[in-house]
Amino acid sequence: MIHELTFPIYDDEITALHVGDQVSLNGVMTTARDTAHKFLVETYIRTDEPKQELELYEELKEILGGGGIYHCGPVVAQNEDGSWRFVAAGPTTSIREEVYEPEVIRHFNVKAVIGKGGMGPNTLRANQEQKAVYLSAIGGAASLIADAVKEVVAVYKKDEFGVPEAFWVIRVEGFPAVVTMDAHGRSIHDDVEAESKKQLTGLIG
């Protein structure tokens, strides 16, 4: 069974998901990597009240509320009419965002974080508290995933951050992923690590 999810995603849809479930994502979400996460936290979260770039803040609140963040530095091309298209859109390693992601999930009410390699205990805790999931995209399938990106709706901070680090707001259809950290405190990445340690102990002693 494949769970069809359309942004914005609601709490009951998240709690229905468990580690190992396949999902298909539809609707509008945004890419964000290291620079974008740092910007979100330092500009909008670790402050008494956002005082700068308020228009962008409101845009991002709307996109991220019930929405998704994709850890991706896409390869893009510009069309003749000035619009953009994704040429390749493979996931990047997520653990680098562990220092930021829990705060971003809580502040913006993010429901799905997509990437590769999993995340740590703080993000898992935020998933439980906020009803969110971590989804593993298909590594090595950058062109396939790009086919699921039907439209680049907007791009923010491209000139300042560069193409890979910008916020690319995209509309997706049938974006494939697997739940590897759920809202029930389960992480397949923890299971893999525990099994690896068990195997290593067996080999050593």
Q: Specify the pLDDT at position 203.
A: 43
Verdict on whether the full-model pTM lies above 0.75: yes
The 3-state DSSP class for residue 149 equals strand
Options 37, 71, 107, 189, the catalytic residue:
37
6-14 contacts, C-beta under 8 A, 24 or more apart: 7/66, 7/67, 7/68, 7/111, 7/112, 8/65, 8/66, 8/67, 8/111, 9/66, 9/67, 9/68, 9/111, 9/112, 10/66, 10/111, 11/131, 14/111, 14/131, 14/132, 14/133, 14/183
Report the distance separating Cα 47 and Cα 100, nearest Å: 14
Domain encompassing residue 112: 2-204
Query: Looking at residue 146, what is its pLDDT?
Result: 87
pLDDT at 190: 65
Question: Which residues are 114's β-sheet partners?
Answer: 70, 135
**Which 3 state secondary structure label does DSSP give 82?**
coil
Assigned token pair, 26: 């539809």
Residues 156 and 148 sit within 8 Å (Cβ to Cβ):
no
Count of Cβ atoms closer than 10 Å to residue 18 Cβ:
13
Q: How many domains does the chain have?
A: 1
Per DSSP, the three-state class of 8 is coil
Model pLDDT, residue 195: 43
Pair of tokens at residue 143: 């062109």
Output the domain CATH number for residue 52: 3.20.130.10
Amino acid 196: pLDDT: 37
The per-residue pLDDT string of the chain (205 residues; one tens digit each, 9 = 90 and over) reads: 899 999 999 999 999 999 999 999 999 999 999 999 999 999 999 998 777 899 999 999 999 999 999 999 999 999 999 999 999 999 999 999 999 999 999 999 999 999 999 999 999 999 999 999 999 997 666 777 889 999 999 999 999 999 999 999 999 999 999 999 999 999 997 664 454 344 434 444 4
For residue 199, the model assigns a pLDDT of: 43
Establish whether 71 is a catalytic residue: no
